Amino acid sequence: MNSYELLYIVKADMEEEARTALISRFSDLIVNNGGEIVETDEWGKRRFAYPINYINEGYYVLVNFKAQPTVIAELERNFRITEDTIRFMCIKKD
């Protein structure tokens, strides 16, 4: 298994329950596909340097995990179809 670091931004104006459900949904997606979450760090609400689609702030979540490369494709597919996700980036760690 490879080590990955995932940073994603969700809309800041979501209710806390909906945001928690969305974060747990992405975490469950990793675990259900055979991955292992090492650490989840919620950075909280931060202001953007510039507006993204007329949105000025977002809620940042950083996840360190271990998984097979096929999990990344499934994660990216889910991030793209989720409307509450503003940006995401997943990198492989050495």
Mean pLDDT, consecutive 10-residue stretches, the chain (94 aa), reads 94 93 94 93 94 94 94 93 94 90
CB contact at 8 A, 71 and 1: no
* pTM confidence score: 0.89
Residue 76, classed as helix, strand or coil, is helix
CB contact at 8 A, 69 and 35: no
CB contact at 8 A, 58 and 10: yes
Predicted pLDDT of residue 55: 93
Predicted pLDDT of residue 1: 87
Predicted pLDDT of residue 74: 92
Looking at domain 2-93, does it have CATH number 3.30.70.60? yes
Predicted pLDDT of residue 4: 95
Predicted pLDDT of residue 94: 81
